Chains A and B, each alone.
Chain A
């Protein structure tokens, strides 16, 4: 079911100061879409999720799920969480320690007075879906972190909610398990055909799981788009920096043509994409991600987008080297393939990939 949010505002009182956690947030999430709220801690993403689910009451605005308005400050509507028909997976999983796996998963059905026979079969189906058959009578606290997380997912799904919400569900798992669980979750969500709202501060999680991502900052939504748009063609320097490592270089458009424009920067003229159609003479920010800057031994190549620089610092991070390279006064972060024999102090040639460098309006 789709989810519409209009002008949602929420203030906090903290040490006598008013802090605006949500600042007129407008958002439409389509039915069966996997939608991620991404942002640094304190940006308001969890507050937004808790307002949707009904655990917090916004100061102003309107939230509707499908045809139903669940909150409206104007109309004086505020449904309690149990009347909203949602499912949620908490960061701590919130598995009840005094119940076994079956009772935990059956709880939403019992709370809604579902007939006994139905409960048995629906719990079994939910547990089969999350691959926890045979765990019914285990005490829930005796499960591993990943298993607890799947119990929480089964519990959120069992009552067939209109929307399922996730509050940083992977942040309590260790790095290796997190990667596995992320893949599993991706499979579950794509199979399910359900509207999902997912909150995270992890950019990889957001890129891997989402149909669309909303990047938030200080209670506002900065940009909404699909993962590729957010990564390759963002409208906002903050998003460019937050979603992945980025070299941001101030630039002035000298010459604009399709597909590439020519910009002037501190290191010289560079050919880049100009999908935002910034006019000639316009100021912009050039975004070049490290993986699209090629580094090689020094040559006397004079093609466009090729420059000479000096390696200041190099560290080995496993799959590659990360190197800081200086061109004039500008410092660039780059990745170098492990087999390339370049050490700190070397002169190098670097080449920008014109198709993957883009301009962001400032």
Chain B
């Protein structure tokens, strides 16, 4: 077994720098008095951050927002998973669509489309209802905590669903059947047997959504801030981006507790997923669970699922497209139809900052994903094939950034970059992106390496091939599908990146999602929609290619 100490060490240094550096800089920053000055140790930023009269409200909002989103998302995901795996609901292909398609719509756009529908001033749906029922005021206000929870829950629904479905489909039906034989009713069985057995999966979903809601920036900024509802992420943003004196020390001090909370949640999540593997009730018996006949409820249940897929996928794209043609938000009417034009499109496509952000995002997507994949290939190789103690450390390091809220890590990087010539360059964004999204590249490549059994390489060597020839003819061809899907996954992430960019982007290094956020802040919904459609087009193209490549990969390794 080749231990490759040089490769392992250099990767440990690079990945260690990428993931540990922002955390260390954040910690140092939180104890420093001025931005970029580390000369004097001080507690003052902590005192300022946590004695701030607003902080208590922020803490409370965050708690309600994260827990609320986690519960709503998990309940919806449980419903969808149960319908798909355990009932004879028609048109089951929709479940695949609900879980994959929303990933093509960047969060900031999804959130903006809900703001256009339900904002209290001129939300399309509000206006429509007022006209129909002759109401004096808007029936809905999205700029509230329930509004934030609604949108965040819809955003996190696919991931919660993907966590719950495997547990649900591995469920041993005989547990329920014996409960029925023992005399319990259907509902009694559901609450006393089914849900308790699924508890680890349900808790994992709750915690995963909490982590994502804590890190979420799109919803707190586009929906929360207009309603003056601040959570952790938007509170940090307020400290560094609004007012005339951004206070990066105070932001770091606030960020430290967000980071600690997030890491703790991820730790619990890992513990629970290990636990749920223990809880799996079914071995490879190859049984098919009996499907529950919904009878008269088949189509009503389907209507609920259909409605969910409509508001998750069709509605946001429709709203964006419709508004991209209008000068301001208005409910559909003959007047609106008569005012439709391509003006927003021409404005956006001639707006130098929008064009610059498009160029920057494409550059970051292509170059960032390419560099990220090269690093991921090497890291995955060491994790899967070298398997020394140091490789184990590398694995933990490379997955550490899963638990970092983007905006906090952005503040940490800010503390680092301000002392380097990288400050306010695209390279700063590039480094930040790769550090934060490394797990998205390492994961597909690790599974690609797992599929290359060591015998395949050894056999080539015995056949008379040199190590280089083996790499060229055996390892690389088998790795290419993994490389392609890792590249596309990272590229889509980079093209839509918001939370990190909002801290690191400076004039000249604007990116698409930040530009969208600016349009939302200025209420330029038409231009936002036009640029948003361009963004959705780019990321859907990448996702479609990714799924095609994934299918190819599965075909090759089938049998």
A111/B463 in contact, CB under 8 A: yes
Give CA–CA (A142, B455) in the complex, Å: 19
Give CA–CA (A17, B455) in the complex, Å: 26
Give CA–CA (A192, B557) in the complex, Å: 34
User: Cβ of A87: which chain B residues have Cβ within 8 Å of it?
Assistant: 462-463
**Residue from B459, B474, B556 having most chain A Cβ neighbours under 10 A:** B459
Give CA–CA (A164, B469) in the complex, Å: 22
Pick from B463, B478, B558: contact of A108, CB under 8 Å: B463
User: At the interface, yes or no: A85 with Cβ under 8 Å from chain B?
Assistant: yes
Give CA–CA (A345, B460) in the complex, Å: 60
Give CA–CA (A305, B461) in the complex, Å: 58
- How many whole Å from A119's CB to the nearest CB in chain B? 13
- How many whole Å from B467's CB to the nearest CB in chain A? 8
User: Cβ of A86: which chain B residues have Cβ within 8 Å of it?
Assistant: 462
User: At the interface, yes or no: A159 with Cβ under 8 Å from chain B?
Assistant: yes
Give CA–CA (A160, B508) in the complex, Å: 65
User: At the interface, yes or no: B100 with Cβ under 8 Å from chain A?
Assistant: no
Pick from A88, A97, A141, A142: contact of B462, CB under 8 Å: A88
Pick from B465, B469, B477: contact of A98, CB under 8 Å: B477
Produce 1/0 per residue, B318-351, CB < 8 A to A.
0000000000000000000000000000000000
User: At the interface, yes or no: B96 with Cβ under 8 Å from chain A?
Assistant: no
Pick from A55, A92, A142: contact of B461, CB under 8 Å: A55
User: At the interface, yes or no: A176 with Cβ under 8 Å from chain B?
Assistant: no
User: At the interface, yes or no: B506 with Cβ under 8 Å from chain A?
Assistant: no
User: At the interface, yes or no: B453 with Cβ under 8 Å from chain A?
Assistant: yes
User: At the interface, yes or no: A133 with Cβ under 8 Å from chain B?
Assistant: no
Produce 1/0 per residue, A139-166, CB < 8 A to B.
0011000000000000110010000000
Complex: chain B residue closest to A83, CB-CB: B464
Give CA–CA (A141, B456) in the complex, Å: 13
Known: A98-B477, A98-B556. A82 touches B461 (CB 8 A): yes
Near A by CB (< 8 A), chain B positions 447-502 give 453, 455-456, 458-467, 469, 473-474, 477-478
Produce 1/0 per residue, A45-68, CB < 8 A to B.
000000001110000000000000
User: At the interface, yes or no: B245 with Cβ under 8 Å from chain A?
Assistant: no
A81/B478 in contact, CB under 8 A: no
Residue tally, chain B, CB below 8 Å to A: 22
- How many whole Å from A152's CB to the nearest CB in chain B? 8
User: Cβ of B182: which chain A residues have Cβ within 8 Å of it?
Assistant: none
Known: A92-B453, A142-B559. A111 touches B465 (CB 8 A): yes
Complex: chain B residue closest to A56, CB-CB: B1
Pick from B458, B466, B467, B474: contact of A55, CB under 8 Å: B458
A159/B556 in contact, CB under 8 A: no
- How many whole Å from A204's CB to the nearest CB in chain B? 25
Give CA–CA (A98, B559) in the complex, Å: 13
Give CA–CA (A302, B415) in the complex, Å: 101
User: At the interface, yes or no: A96 with Cβ under 8 Å from chain B?
Assistant: yes
Give CA–CA (A141, B288) in the complex, Å: 28
- How many whole Å from A147's CB to the nearest CB in chain B? 12
User: Cβ of A242: which chain B residues have Cβ within 8 Å of it?
Assistant: none
Nearest 7 pairs of A and B residues by beta carbon: A94-B459, A94-B455, A108-B463, A111-B465, A81-B461, A88-B462, A111-B464
In the assembled complex, 17 residue pairs joining A and B whose CB atoms fall closer than 8 Å, in A order, are A81-B458, A81-B462, A82-B461, A82-B462, A82-B465, A85-B464, A88-B462, A92-B453, A94-B459, A97-B556, A108-B464, A111-B460, A111-B465, A111-B469, A111-B473, A141-B558, A142-B559
* Residues of A in contact with B (beta carbons under 8 Å apart): 53-55, 80-82, 84-88, 90-94, 96-98, 107-108, 110-112, 141-142, 155-156, 159
* Residues of B in contact with A (beta carbons under 8 Å apart): 453, 455-456, 458-467, 469, 473-474, 477-478, 556-559
With A94-B453, A96-B460 given, name 15 new contacts (CB 8 A).
A53-B462, A55-B458, A55-B462, A80-B467, A81-B461, A82-B463, A86-B462, A87-B462, A96-B456, A98-B478, A98-B556, A108-B463, A111-B464, A111-B473, A156-B462
